[in-house]
Amino acid sequence: MTIQTAVLIETLTALGAEVRWCSCNIFSTQDHAAAAIARDSAAVFAWKGETLQEYWWCTERALDWGPTGGPDLIVDDGGDATLLIHEGVKAEEVYEKTGQLPDPSSTDNAEFQIVLTIIRDGLKADPKKYTRMKERLVGVSEETTTGVKRLYQMQANGTLLFPAINVNDSVTKSKFDNLYGCRHSLPDGLMRATDVMIAGKVAVVCGYGDVGKGCAAALKQAGARVIVTEIDPICALQALMEGLQVLTLGDVVSEADIFVTTTGNKDIIMVNHMRKMKNNAIVCNIGHFDNEIDMLGLENYPGVKRITIKPQTDRWVFPETNTGIIVLAEGRLMNLGCATGHPSFVMSCSFTNQVIAQLELWKEKATGKYEKKVYVLPKHLDEKVAALHLGKLGANLTKLTKDQADYISVPIEGPYKPPHYRY
């Protein structure tokens, strides 16, 4: 819930929507933005520094339209709202057949225990709450790589309950928000949290997708010596061609000053890695969930001492060496926890895609165009989003002649690239 999402809410409201909003991250809310929107435009359930219990309570409240059902559409970021509905429907089906309630102790994941507790407690009061939501929902548009992965997994398993538009893989999202947004907001978060001089430092970027590319570029431009870890040989070769080293985390864990996870995967930096890091090495995540960094292992390490330097900046001291590491935003998104996320212009590209996706789902709700599958916005809309942002930067596009357009077999007005084109 940032200034940028506030403008998105105002846009949706101006289009006629009734909006209920929550944050996608316990640290990302800008309270002044939330207060302004709560006063003027929408119901907001978000504040900076939520506990996990509060975070999931806020998610549940944002979805709650009372006994009549739930939302018609969801704008999701990370897939947590979508997850809650799917898990709720699953639990209601089991409860109807067997009378069995969800058991939070059935999982070791502390956050999922909270989800199951919320669903269990809700079942007692309303055993069809999420089923009604599912039946009412027209669809969801998903913002992030992580949330999109969840959607494709549900589609593959045959469990996706409503149509979904993958906003993340619009070129004007992934190649701008993920790349240029992170290039801006990673160093912003680092410097606000630590005031460290990046020049001369050894920085490790775990992952070299679009997010990793933006982070590595920012660190390199600031004068860091950048090392990339990768599983994908194509991404690794791209990093090498940019003049970066590609090594394993084990190769460099005791040498580097700054570690950034960008993978969207789990168990990237483990507590045994952190024990070997130099004193006051900085560890942070800009991927999505906090499981990229082994925060549970760090918190439970025998004798470890946590010293809070300031909000979202903690020094963890290991007893055997009396040396420590600095972890930002408790392993969650550091650019949102320690700074204010991506700047407005690049988020305008992303949120224009979100608005278009919402309009598309609503417009086609009765046509059967969108089934219970994951879709990507067509290329002509992607190009339209880009075109809308050119004037602000003073661009003047060259126009194709009819003869030129015929020569390369594209319409004069676009789209100019095939769907499979890699920008």
Q: Domain of 43: which CATH number? A: 3.40.50.1480
Cα–Cα distance between 379 and 377 in angstroms, integer? 7
Cα–Cα distance between 125 and 119 in angstroms, integer? 10
Tokens of 381: 């809309």
Cα–Cα separations (whole angstroms), residue 76 to 116, 177, 241, 391: 20, 16, 35, 29
pLDDT greater than 90 at residue 124: no
Cα–Cα distance between 17 and 11 in angstroms, integer? 9
Query: Max Cα separation, the chain?
Result: 74
Same domain, 312 and 369: no
The strand pairing partners of 315, in sequence order, are 307, 326
Same domain, 74 and 141: yes
Question: Looking at residues 336-360, what average pLDDT do you find?
Answer: 97
- The helix or strand, by DSSP H or E, that contains position 171, with its residue range, turns out to be helix 171-173
> Mutual orientation of helices 129-136 and 110-125 as an angle, nearest 10°?
100
Domain contains 93: yes
Tokens of 342: 């991506």
Same domain, 133 and 246: no
Confidence of residue 395 (pLDDT cuts 50, 70, 90): very high
> Environment class of residue 345 by beta-carbon count within 10 Å: exposed (0-12), middle (13-18) or buried (19+)?
middle
Confidence of residue 413 (pLDDT cuts 50, 70, 90): very high
Same domain, 84 and 142: yes
Question: Looking at residues 323-329, what average pLDDT do you find?
Answer: 98
Closest CA to 189 of 363, 313, 50: 313
**Predicted pLDDT at 102:** 97
Domain contains 330: yes
Cα–Cα distance between 193 and 37 in angstroms, integer? 27
Question: Looking at residues 392-404, what average pLDDT do you find?
Answer: 98
- Residue numbers in the known binding site for substrate are 2, 77, 143, 173, 177
Same domain, 37 and 87: yes
Domain contains 409: no
Cα–Cα distance between 352 and 167 in angstroms, integer? 10
Arithmetic mean of pLDDT over the chain: 97
Closest CA to 144 of 294, 49, 264, 320: 264
Confidence of residue 130 (pLDDT cuts 50, 70, 90): very high
Look up the pTM and report it: 0.93
The CATH number for 275's domain is 3.40.50.720
Query: Is 11 within 8 Å of 33 (Cβ atoms)?
Result: no
Question: Looking at residues 229-246, what average pLDDT do you find?
Answer: 99
**Predicted pLDDT at 69:** 78
Tokens of 108: 């070791």
Task: Give the count of domains, the chain.
Answer: 2
- The helix or strand, by DSSP H or E, that contains position 326, with its residue range, turns out to be strand 323-328
Cα–Cα distance between 263 and 205 in angstroms, integer? 9
Could you tell me the residue range of the domain that residue 276 belongs to? Answer: 181-338
Same domain, 162 and 188: no
Cα–Cα distance between 252 and 324 in angstroms, integer? 17
Domain contains 393: no
Domain contains 88: yes
Tokens of 274: 């952190």
415 prior amide bond cis, ω within 30: yes
Same domain, 109 and 254: no
Last residue of a domain, one of 338, 364, 396: 338
Percent of the chain residues topping a pLDDT of 90: 96
Confidence of residue 417 (pLDDT cuts 50, 70, 90): very high
- Residue numbers in the known binding site are 2, 77, 143-146, 173, 177, 209-214, 230, 286-288, 335, 342
In 71-180, where do the E strands start and end?
73-76, 139-142, 164-166
Question: Looking at residues 380-405, what average pLDDT do you find?
Answer: 97
Closest CA to 277 of 250, 248, 245, 305: 250
Same domain, 189 and 304: yes
Cα–Cα distance between 44 and 76 in angstroms, integer? 15
In 174-197, which positions are buried (b, 16+ CB within 10 angstroms) versus exposed (e)? bbbbbbbbbbbbbbbbbebbbeee
Query: Is 151 within 8 Å of 145 (Cβ atoms)?
Result: no
Domain contains 408: no
pLDDT greater than 80 at residue 68: no
Same domain, 138 and 233: no
Same domain, 151 and 195: no
Question: Looking at residues 190-206, what average pLDDT do you find?
Answer: 98
Last residue of a domain, one of 280, 313, 338: 338
Task: Give SS3 for 126.
Answer: coil
Cα–Cα distance between 345 and 191 in angstroms, integer? 21
The structure tokens 């996990």 sit at: 52
- Residue numbers in the known binding site for NAD(+) are 144-146, 209-214, 230, 286-288, 335, 342
Same domain, 137 and 19: yes
Domain contains 366: yes
Domain contains 175: no
Same domain, 157 and 25: yes
pLDDT greater than 90 at residue 144: yes
